[in-house]
Amino acid sequence: MTPDPDRHTPAEAPDDPDAHGKPVGRRVFLGTLGLGALGVATAPWLQRGAERTLGSLSGQDPTGLSGLLPNGGGFRYYSVAASVPRKSPADYRLTVDGLVDRPRAYTLADLRALPRTRLTRDVQCVTGWRVPKTPFEGVRLDDLLEAAGVRRTAKAVRFTCFDGTYTESLTLDQARRPDVLVALRMQGEDIGHDHGGPVRLYVAPMYFYKSAKWLSGITVTDHVQPGYWETRGYDVDAWVGRSNGRTDDPTS
Ligand SMILES: Nc1nc2c(c(=O)[nH]1)N[C@H]1C(S)=C(S)[C@@H](COP(=O)(O)O)O[C@H]1N2
Ligand SMILES: [Mo]
């Protein structure tokens, strides 16, 4: 089934950061502070001592090591791990296990042979940067779950990465959405190492921290195990515009 762009309701759609009538001065100010300021504004774990830490957070970005990617078209490079091993097409494996009847390890060739879905959506990081209309291509997560045979007791999915550090999670309902991909291509090319290749998750309706790079494991679980940034204050339900990953609330 081809995903229906209309599933993406206006409330979920990535918004123009300046479209909500907030004073530009505040926007620019927050923008220069990056996620530090976002955290101060919204995330409980940074609220205390905000004044004290603001100065030191200025210019830094707690969602990991970040830098503008050359030729990245506005993407920033993020990795919470200092170095990440490279996986060649021959080395790569994606395991699907946990509460499933048919656990499996996919090679890259296995994944490439499966039916593909294409989505073109805006990429939106919680720190404010955004890459409009970015094409992604990959296998629906739902297809892999279907093939694995999810058991009745399952409630959630946990993702692990071959950087050895990052994790992510979705509820089973979220994981089954047609706009959640195990992505093989981005912007018309195979996903390169810096963008989390050869395989990354792409959770189109949520902030980009949900889109785990260097994806190596999909484990079906009986409860949500919050991911890396989620244990550090960010919402598991990271809907763009409807979670704590932004400074203003477009629904209000
Ligand atoms: N494994 C891993 N995945 C990750 C991250 C990370 O640090 N490690 N950072 C997340 C965040 S906060 C963002 S904004 C995007 C950045 O993707 P990019 O480096 O392709 O721009 O990856 C997400 N997935
Ligand atoms: Mo991010």
pTM of the model: 0.76
The mean pLDDT of the chain is 77
Mutation pick for ligand 1 pocket among 84, 86, 213, 234 (CB with most ligand atoms within 8 Å): 213
Domain holding 100: CATH number? 3.90.420.10
Q: Could you tell me the two tokens for 129?
A: 């940067």
| Structural domain count, the chain | 2
What's the mean pLDDT in 108-126?
Answer: 96
Measured in angstroms, how far is the CA atom of residue 113 from the centroid of ligand 2?
30
Residue bearing the bigger pLDDT, 233 or 174: 174
Per-residue confidence (pLDDT) for residue 68, from 0 to 100 = 57
Q: Whose CA is nearest to atom 22 of ligand 1?
A: 209
> Has residue 84 been placed in a domain?
no
Residues with CB under 6 A from ligand 1: 63-64, 75-80, 125, 161, 163, 166, 195-196, 208-209, 211-214
Measured in angstroms, how far is the CA atom of residue 128 from the centroid of ligand 2?
8
Measured in angstroms, how far is the CA atom of residue 77 from the centroid of ligand 1?
7
- 3-state SS assignment for residue 217: strand
Range of the domain at 39: 26-68
pLDDT tier, 26 (very low <50, low <70, confident <90, very high otherwise) = very low
> Has residue 208 been placed in a domain?
yes
Q: Which residues pair with 181 in a beta bridge?
A: 140, 202
Per-residue confidence (pLDDT) for residue 66, from 0 to 100 = 56
pLDDT tier, 126 (very low <50, low <70, confident <90, very high otherwise) = confident
Q: Could you tell me the two tokens for 136?
A: 């992604």
Q: Which residues contact 167 (CB under 8 A, 6 or more apart)?
A: 158, 159, 160, 161, 212, 225, 227, 228
| pLDDT tens, position by position, 30-85 | 333 344 333 333 333 333 333 222 223 334 455 555 555 554 567 888 899 999 99
| Judgement on whether residues 121 and 176 belong to the same structural domain of the protein | yes
Q: Could you tell me the two tokens for 169?
A: 């999670």
The beta-strand segments (E) located in 175-241 are 180-186, 189-190, 200-203, 215-221
